[in-house]
Chain A
Amino acid sequence: MKAPTTPTAPATAAVPSPAAALPAAEAPVRRRGRDERGTGASVALHLTVITACLIAVFPLVWVLWISLRGADGWKDPRNLSGGLDLTNYAHVLGDTEFLTWFGNSLIVAFFTTLLGVFIAASSGYAISRMRFPGQKPLMWVFLITQMFPIAVLIVPIYNIFSDLRLVDSHAGLVLAYCSTAVPFCAWMLKGYFDTIPHEIDEAGRVDGLTPFGTFYRLALPLARPGLAVTGFYAFITAWGEVAYATALISSDENKTLAAGLQTFVGQHTSNWGAMTAASVLITIPAALVFFFAQKGLVSGLTAGGTKG
């Protein structure tokens, strides 16, 4: 809004102002969304956002394109002859261990999620609702474990697991992931339980439920969306984890996708055809599921922090 109009503003501010008068430079910070804006400003706005969208989407479109261009298509992207074909997909699905890795990733991520949410749920509730000695330190531990660099745990975990013969096994990988998934889930779930009104607990207590009963019969069912989002995030994290998967798994048939894909493109190999096809096959289901769950994700992540 321009300064000259403001002293007599009440009338002008309430009615949509004559739009063309607004200089485009003001546009990015002008917050009155209901107001109209000039065509120029609109075009500039849309162009900016469209450019950003193109940048966001382009690498993925490029991968999709290369994946459809046959085994050697990546070497010369300018050569448009040959059309599109699915040989890369046939190669990945038929001749490589891609499906095994996919299955391994699913198993590892699934059990990490299950253990993480299952173990963390009751503590999230307890920390959200009860005051007890050790509560503050526990919250701190949850926070601090999220800033654990892989570097500090991966070496001792590798050594301990090799003593226990858990190296190169899915069980070992699940346990390693739980070291971050459990505190993370507890942290997120605490945020969700905070949003459930306390009156519900009190009502349950009045009706004679023990705290366990209140948790199990009332709070848990109400927190189901929160559990789903938390579990989903734990799943995605385990699904995309690279460092532990690389360090702990050595044999080809036990690899997860993150470790397995590295064998396509490395020091001595550059099988980009297979890599791009595999990337597309991984991304499509991941992205689909992601869009269903992303809404609650951010509020859950930031809720714990702002209440600190």
Chain B
Amino acid sequence: MTTATVPPQGAKRADRPAEDPRPRRGLPARLKRSFDAHWYAWAMVVPVVIVLGVLVGYPLVRGVYLSLTDATEANMGGTYGVNHIPATYKFLGLDNYWNILSGEEGMFYPRLLWTLVWTASCVFFHYTIGLGLALLLNRDLRFRGLYRILLILPWAVPPFVAAFSWRLMYNSEGGLFNTLLASVGMEPVSWLGDPLMQKVSVVAVNVWLGVPFMMVALLGGLQSIPRELHEAAEMDGATAWQRFRHVTLPGLRPVSSTVILLGTIWTFNMFPIIYLVIGQNAGDDTDILATYAFDLAFSSVRDYAQSATYGVIILSMLLVFAVFYRRLLIRQEDAR
């Protein structure tokens, strides 16, 4: 058998020592041996590697390059009918980055601050509400199946439909919320006009949209905690809160850490809600970094270079976050 097929666990460690102590052979020979052993695996992953190289790798390189230039719609060139207009943008080096990160451009830090507030508040509400509902649904409850289906409904709706439904309810003309306020004699609120209310509104929509995923994921996690643990804790006289704190939460850890990581990344990049609920004509106050970068590239003056720079900065921040988060988890795991 030529392939390095793996028996269930720990095999990676096992075959390393077998390789290393051997006398070093020439590079071609080692490559040959490696190829013989792994060509099945490589053949299987080659389609994905090619697709990723073409559809992700190349655009990424091109994006990084664009971020080092002053490319806009005007100097981008391109082919219009039979005329080919050459691109005339120049290479600038790190000017764009300096411009944005030094605060000179003026939009980055306010956008970043709001993006962080947006992400933190959305993920916080997703997780706490999702956990609360999961705990309720995990109990013996009549109509549980029905409740579960109704609670998942927001997840089943395409995000753009959800965004428009909420926009309809926020509407200043004939919107449900203002109609309700008026009927109890209160002043209408400009849900989608006032910057602060805009922010509250979009967070509400996103919380509504994101809770079902958390709930279902955490419910799965809850059900995987062995019942005996709770019974043992109870036997030892643990109160309900102590059981929650020391049995339920630790038992949920693997699920929690994954959904929080995913949720943070998704929320950080969440495009459709803010873009569709607020619309493009409402100023930049409620734009998070991702929608702001999109607007830079595809609204009025198409500033490709700035937008690409924002994209690269967002990606770098997420990478740093993911690495730190992972490391934090591993350290906590070791500390136990």
Q: Are B62 and A76 within 8 A (Cβ)? A: no
B171 vs chain A, min Cβ distance (A): 8
Q: Are B45 and A149 within 8 A (Cβ)? A: no
Query: Interface digits, A220-255 against B, CB 8 Å rule (1 contact, 0 not)?
Result: 000000000000000010011011001100000000
Q: Are A152 and B308 within 8 A (Cβ)? A: yes
Q: Are B153 and A1 within 8 A (Cβ)? A: no
Bound-complex Cα distance A1 to B198 (A): 45
Given contacts A152-B314, A205-B5, contact A242 B160 (CB under 8 A): yes
Query: Interface digits, A114-125 against B, CB 8 Å rule (1 contact, 0 not)?
Result: 000001101101
Query: In the complex, which range does the number of interface residues on chain B fall in?
Result: 35 or more
Q: Are A149 and B311 within 8 A (Cβ)? A: yes
Q: Are A282 and B161 within 8 A (Cβ)? A: yes
Q: Are A56 and B212 within 8 A (Cβ)? A: yes
B56 interface hit (Cβ, 8 Å): yes
A266 interface hit (Cβ, 8 Å): yes
Note all chain B residues with C-beta closer than 8 A to A82. Answer: none
Given contacts A32-B234, A56-B208, A151-B294, contact A122 B45 (CB under 8 A): yes
Q: Are A151 and B168 within 8 A (Cβ)? A: no
Note all chain B residues with C-beta closer than 8 A to A294. Answer: 152, 155-156, 216
Q: Are B47 and A123 within 8 A (Cβ)? A: yes
B244 interface hit (Cβ, 8 Å): yes
B302 vs chain A, min Cβ distance (A): 9
A299 vs chain B, min Cβ distance (A): 6
Bound-complex Cα distance A29 to B238 (A): 12
B1 vs chain A, min Cβ distance (A): 7
Q: Are B66 and A159 within 8 A (Cβ)? A: yes
Note all chain B residues with C-beta closer than 8 A to A291. Answer: 149, 152, 156
Bound-complex Cα distance A48 to B139 (A): 13
Note all chain B residues with C-beta closer than 8 A to A110. Answer: none
A61 vs chain B, min Cβ distance (A): 10
Q: Which of A29, A122, A141 contacts B44 (CB 8 A)?
A: A122
The stretch of B98-106, B117-125, B255-263 that contacts the partner chain: B255-263
B158 interface hit (Cβ, 8 Å): yes
Bound-complex Cα distance A294 to B148 (A): 12
Given contacts A3-B239, A56-B212, contact A62 B318 (CB under 8 A): no
Bound-complex Cα distance A76 to B182 (A): 12
Note all chain B residues with C-beta closer than 8 A to A282. Answer: 158, 161
Q: Name which residue of chain A comes closest to B305, CB basis.
A: A155
Note all chain A residues with C-beta closer than 8 A to B241. Answer: 29
A83 interface hit (Cβ, 8 Å): no
Note all chain B residues with C-beta closer than 8 A to A28. Answer: 132, 135-136
A283 interface hit (Cβ, 8 Å): yes
Note all chain A residues with C-beta closer than 8 A to B326. Answer: 308
Bound-complex Cα distance A120 to B50 (A): 11
Bound-complex Cα distance A291 to B148 (A): 11
A272 interface hit (Cβ, 8 Å): yes
State the main secondary structure of chain B at its contact with A: helix
Bound-complex Cα distance A30 to B244 (A): 8
Note all chain A residues with C-beta closer than 8 A to B314. Answer: 149, 151-152
Note all chain A residues with C-beta closer than 8 A to B262. Answer: 146, 301-302, 305
Bound-complex Cα distance A247 to B302 (A): 11
Bound-complex Cα distance A34 to B227 (A): 11
Residues 136 to 177 of chain B near chain A (Cβ within 8 Å): 136-142, 147, 149-162, 164-169, 171, 173-174, 176
B78 interface hit (Cβ, 8 Å): yes
Note all chain B residues with C-beta closer than 8 A to A145. Answer: 52, 56
A10 interface hit (Cβ, 8 Å): yes
Q: Are B59 and A160 within 8 A (Cβ)? A: yes
Most A CB within 10 A of own CB, among B41, B167, B280, B293: B41
Bound-complex Cα distance A125 to B43 (A): 12
Q: Are B240 and A1 within 8 A (Cβ)? A: yes
Note all chain B residues with C-beta closer than 8 A to A211. Answer: 3, 5, 40-41, 44
Q: Which of A63, A150, A267 contacts B168 (CB 8 A)?
A: A63
Q: Which of B63, B150, B259, B268 contacts A302 (CB 8 A)?
A: B259
Q: Are A155 and B168 within 8 A (Cβ)? A: no
**Contacts A/B (CB < 8 Å), 28 sampled:** A29-B135, A29-B244, A31-B139, A31-B243, A32-B230, A45-B136, A49-B136, A49-B147, A56-B211, A59-B169, A77-B174, A123-B47, A123-B48, A126-B40, A126-B44, A131-B41, A132-B41, A148-B315, A151-B269, A155-B297, A158-B297, A163-B79, A212-B40, A242-B160, A242-B272, A247-B297, A258-B158, A301-B262
